[in-house]
Structure 1
């Protein structure tokens, strides 16, 4: 009924006004009927079959009579429906009832089709069974005049949310929603903490509503049950009107988008692989050989022998490598060549070790060979030195898998996901051959490779000792690897998806929640919250600190890293000692077997008159600038000396 602009008396309730007008109309019709004819009063029984003879006449008079009552003009059509009704459309806001339109209908009751999309809205109130009211569109000449702009509608929704308490459905999942770690007894929303708890708190502060967190009854995200033909989890609670919003690690999927409404994403992510870090291999004793492969070492040894042999041949072939072994003798019978096979080997190994030698080529051909060999050794030694530093100081850990393709190509390492989740749905509906093959493999495994939660999958990876990989959202993997240093993410994201806040279909709050999420994103609050719960709270940043400490200084080299060098040194020293003994025994035996060859003795020195005045035991020996012949004995060399020196 129309609301009076001002009235000194209190406004009666609608039921009282309608009852008063009904009695007033009945009395008026009965009075008109009594004036038109004589009315006989006949007692009747409610259970009897006898009716009042004036009953139909009274009903007709009630249809014809018009009365101005508390609810306006009262008149009915021939079918008994009230006509020419004028009603005020009111809306409840924080200040109370507010008139927002007027309803007027001429003729009988009518329910037209819903309105087309337009910036202005016209509605009429239809009255189904109480207490429900529905809004319908009518033409501009009749019906409800209910015109409001979009901003006015949104403002009305915001005002309707003021101090209103919404039910927020969620599930326990780190770090989105977790039970608060405290020894005190907590109640209500104080029992929970996490990224989503802080996010919904920030949104409620912007919009201005209250909320109550409620865990989903079955602790599921939301999956459509084909047998029961209904949704479970948080999606099911929205559809069953048990919650107004659902928040958590809830992925926006095609099926869920058709069942409920989602806000704009508050986090973007993708499916990735959680795997155990490979164990560090103990350092090899001969790790100094690791910078070059076995093939390279063999090629270098072959090149060394080949260059030495070529240098020996060219030195023998070139006349410029032959020289006079005795400079004092101007007409020597024999010429000497310094580049014997052993000297060539020594020259090449000296160049390879960057140490040089006392032999230098004289001919152009041998100098070309030496220059090319020096260039070769320069490149190889530089490459070896640069790579050696990396091999000795950087810990190398090889993983058996590097991507999803590596998982699909093998059967030794098992892999799975959370059954019924968005990751499982991705593999089950994928048309990529690799992912189809992976899904078939997971379905065929017994015992099952699926888990009931991400936490169960993480524990299975830890206990699997490299024999199990778990596929889940990359954001959750990032959270886990910040706290469990034995786990790592393998490969990049397999797809692209997002988390969003779910609302019942057609919810009027979607636009406001979208605006609040966008505002938090522009303010950088989403980044701050992620850093807080990923890298700071609940042991976050542990593995990152370990990596920064290890990368701040070079790894110390232990005996296991360079022990092989000491082994080579000891082996070389032992070999040199053995060779020296062999040389001494061989030379002594050779001189002993020569006729009269007893070596240099003190008596022979006295016979030659070579003992000097420098004291007892001091011998002045001749030294010639040229090299002696290999078949020439020590006594012959002394006899042909050019000058003497103390020995």
Structure 2
């Protein structure tokens, strides 16, 4: 018999028998198959098939050529002999379709196009197997639909590697690749797969290797693996007989029947030949006339390209789904599906069609009753009483009402489990852990306690609640896809805006260095005004009138008062007269306006948020080790405790050390106890907790706030037994619930509506500059200060220019030298009297 990888020999003959009745002349079709042993019954059947195709329109003459497997020279010789006989087409189950390029005879290949022939318009080859690039795209879509983001890939050839290669560099996928040798050691291969983090395996193997691999995967003490076979030529009957839970990619869908790939492709090739011959007859084209001796004469069949176009333009619905080709003969329209084989039951999971991918209704829900002998299963689900995930139901004043079973409990996780059970189709019984423990590993025994321990011991089927995914827990249980991602935050007590602050709290608006710079700027401006008022002749009263006494109001004391008065927005009697002193004054006023605006704006925020000031320099969890304003702790032995214990950051390690040292005097045994500790301490204690629980508490107690952002990245998920057959069902249901918006609706109900939710406007007590009144630093006013310095410098230069200009004008009027006038100006600057030393008759009038 032929290899299972290639079409059945008799199926190829069906092509010839099915098109013989539509030929209007005797035509010869070549058939190339691999050598195999056929019995007498098969030989007689062969004669019967070709002996009954005679019609009035003509007779179809088959020419058969058998070639050894993997013998390209023999295949080339067979094609040459067929070309010499004069054939209208060649049907090939291997890779010997060179007849089109060499002799101009169309070839129908049951294999896909290789990289070299995929875009070759001269090959005249029609490929019935789908294009490799489209197959790779379908495989990626399948894995995304199944949410196989962590998996292993086992392959055995370069051809198979090219099929999965696009997956290796795809973001979001974590792929472990295992190469199988020509003579593989299956024990080593299975060991590599079992050591991988994920139990999901994508299998891309030749049929002989696949059979051995399936046998090795069933070893008694081996880890159960979830297998997805991606080679479409795999015989489905072998997978069905494997007796375990296996998925496989196949051509077509269940609506086309459960045919093997080679049978479906053979039937479709037959249908394409029929349709092309009908089209050729109805088009009015000249009848097909084959030519012999093409190989000996090295010539081409002239009607070959025309007949190939008729083949390539064929569109139909075949046994392998929709059939359509591009101009190069590559199949571009087809349908794939994933089927699941479990204990003799075959079910279709999802469908994929070229051009549209996985349609919205392409997912076929798997029936969970397959896992329980056709009955609706009942699962035991462990939980811990934890608000708002699993809580005792409020009776609404009817205390005499008695509840039983699951009716005693409610909460977010209970509602989520109800939705999953409804979506998948199972019943469940809640099993509340009496100790209230989620599960941590005993360092001495290596065993887990709590609900994780119950799962590891297979006492329950699943666990719900605020269960955090961790690497240590994943070693003993399996987790579903996360239903919530979050970080760890710090809960603090917020004293509120009416609390009293420090007496000199108004000075905290600016940092101390800025206050010193402002003081220096004030005194510096006063000194510059004093000097310029003496240097500039336009500022000295009497200098222009040549009066015997020259004076100026800008003494050192008055200049200081002038700078301080403008800083505090007060009226000043004497104003600068000279351009140089006015320029310095304008620069100073600009600085004063900006400083006043910053101060007023931040002062209001400081008194509004002064409850935060008691926390000193704490702006995030990372600041906790370097402060002494508050103590802090976390739930002892919980996932938050483990996060800080295993953290790589030095700051977070110091946080854990402080909590560990405090464990003897303060051990937090529940989240409720941690919240009570924060309320009782009223600002001297902070509780580190997971963000969802923190959000729930701060929605109901407005005195509690989250300080800053979060650290770390954590995920909540549902835990199942390791290698649980229910994992994919739960993931499918979670995906559906999330996409429909039900998951967010449940969060809104339990966080913001039920049991007193929605009372507080915001849970954050952020210390970011955009949200709080942080101190104005020196860098914030660097620009205005630089403008002041520039104004002083320009004012000095302008004062010197004023002296020069005045000295030049005075020298020209008096007929004296400029130098003598300059000397006189500097002398007047030194001897200028302050205004208060002049007689009253000489002082300026108001």
Scaled by the length of structure 1, the TM-score of the pair is 0.57
The answer for the alignment partner of 1:580 in structure 2 is: none
The answer for the alignment partner of 1:254 in structure 2 is: 471
User: Is 1:361 the counterpart of 2:576 in the alignment?
Assistant: yes
Structure 1: unaligned runs, 5 residues or longer: 1-111, 126-144, 549-626, 638-647
Runs of 4+ off more than 6 Å: 545-548
The answer for the alignment partner of 1:198 in structure 2 is: 415
Q: Find the aligned partners of 1:450 and 1:466 in 2 and give their Cα distance.
A: 19
The answer for the alignment partner of 1:520 in structure 2 is: 737
CA contact (8 A) 1:157 1:508 kept: no
Residues 148-163 of structure 1 correspond to what in structure 2 (within 5 A)? 148-149=345-346, 151=348, 155=366, 157-158=368-369, 160=372, 163=376
Deviation, 1:473, is: 1.7
Deviation, 1:519, is: 0.4
Q: CA, structure 1 residues 228+541, in 2 after alignment: closer, same or farther (shift >3 Å)?
A: same
Measured against aligned partners, the alpha-carbon deviations of 1:511-557 in whole angstroms (never above 9, x if no partner) come to 11110011001111111111111111111122227999xxxxxxxxx
Q: Find the aligned partners of 1:310 and 1:267 in 2 and give their Cα distance.
A: 64
Deviation, 1:276, is: 2.9
The answer for the alignment partner of 1:311 in structure 2 is: 529
CA contact (8 A) 1:252 1:499 kept: yes
Structure 2 counterpart of 1:374, from 589, 594, 610: 589
Report the aligned-residue RMSD: 4.1
Deviation, 1:295, is: 4.7
Residues 9-24 of structure 1 correspond to what in structure 2 (within 5 A)? none
Worse overlay, 186-195 or 374-383: 374-383
User: Is 1:168 the counterpart of 2:168 in the alignment?
Assistant: no
User: Is 1:265 the counterpart of 2:482 in the alignment?
Assistant: yes
User: Is 1:177 the counterpart of 2:374 in the alignment?
Assistant: no
The answer for the alignment partner of 2:749 in structure 1 is: 532
Aligned residues: 425
The answer for the alignment partner of 1:452 in structure 2 is: 669
Measured against aligned partners, the alpha-carbon deviations of 1:257-278 in whole angstroms (never above 9, x if no partner) come to 2222222111212333333336
Deviation, 1:365, is: 4.0
Q: Find the aligned partners of 2:651 and 2:519 in 1 and give their Cα distance.
A: 45
Residues 607-646 of structure 1 correspond to what in structure 2 (within 5 A)? 630-631=838-839
Residues 327-366 of structure 1 correspond to what in structure 2 (within 5 A)? 334=549, 337-340=552-555, 344-345=559-560, 347-354=562-569, 357-366=572-581
Q: Find the aligned partners of 1:632 and 1:502 in 2 and give their Cα distance.
A: 97
CA contact (8 A) 2:707 2:764 kept: no
Deviation, 1:358, is: 4.5
CA contact (8 A) 1:417 1:449 kept: no
CA contact (8 A) 1:271 1:493 kept: yes
CA contact (8 A) 2:699 2:763 kept: no
Deviation, 1:506, is: 3.1
The answer for the alignment partner of 1:277 in structure 2 is: 494
Deviation, 1:501, is: 1.6
Q: CA, structure 1 residues 415+211, in 2 after alignment: closer, same or farther (shift >3 Å)?
A: same
Q: Higher relative CO (CA 8 A, sep ≥ 6), structure 1 or 2?
A: 1
The answer for the alignment partner of 1:7 in structure 2 is: none
Residues 41-120 of structure 1 correspond to what in structure 2 (within 5 A)? 115=218, 120=239
CA contact (8 A) 1:417 1:470 kept: yes
The answer for the alignment partner of 1:501 in structure 2 is: 718
Q: Find the aligned partners of 1:230 and 1:167 in 2 and give their Cα distance.
A: 21
CA contact (8 A) 1:309 1:341 kept: yes
Worse overlay, 351-360 or 244-253: 351-360
Measured against aligned partners, the alpha-carbon deviations of 1:612-647 in whole angstroms (never above 9, x if no partner) come to xxxxxxxxxxxxxxx9995469xx99xxxxxxxxxx
CA contact (8 A) 1:265 1:498 kept: yes
Structure 2: unaligned runs, 5 residues or longer: 1-214, 220-226, 230-235, 245-341, 350-363, 766-834
Q: CA, structure 1 residues 315+527, in 2 after alignment: closer, same or farther (shift >3 Å)?
A: same
Structure 2 counterpart of 1:121, from 240, 248, 262: 240
Deviation, 1:385, is: 4.1
Deviation, 1:175, is: 0.5
The answer for the alignment partner of 2:453 in structure 1 is: 236
CA contact (8 A) 1:194 1:533 kept: yes
Q: Find the aligned partners of 1:412 and 1:396 in 2 and give their Cα distance.
A: 13
Measured against aligned partners, the alpha-carbon deviations of 1:46-104 in whole angstroms (never above 9, x if no partner) come to xxxxxxxxxxxxxxxxxxxxxxxxxxxxxxxxxxxxxxxxxxxxxxxxxxxxxxxxxxx
CA contact (8 A) 2:469 2:716 kept: yes
Q: Find the aligned partners of 2:512 and 2:422 in 1 and give their Cα distance.
A: 67
Structure 2 counterpart of 1:397, from 589, 612, 627: 612
Task: Determine helix, strand or coil for the equivalent of 2:429.
Answer: strand
CA contact (8 A) 1:174 1:194 kept: yes
CA contact (8 A) 2:705 2:763 kept: no
Structure 2 counterpart of 1:464, from 681, 689, 697: 681
CA contact (8 A) 2:634 2:689 kept: yes
Q: CA, structure 1 residues 522+342, in 2 after alignment: closer, same or farther (shift >3 Å)?
A: same
Scaled by the length of structure 2, the TM-score of the pair is 0.44
CA contact (8 A) 1:269 1:475 kept: yes
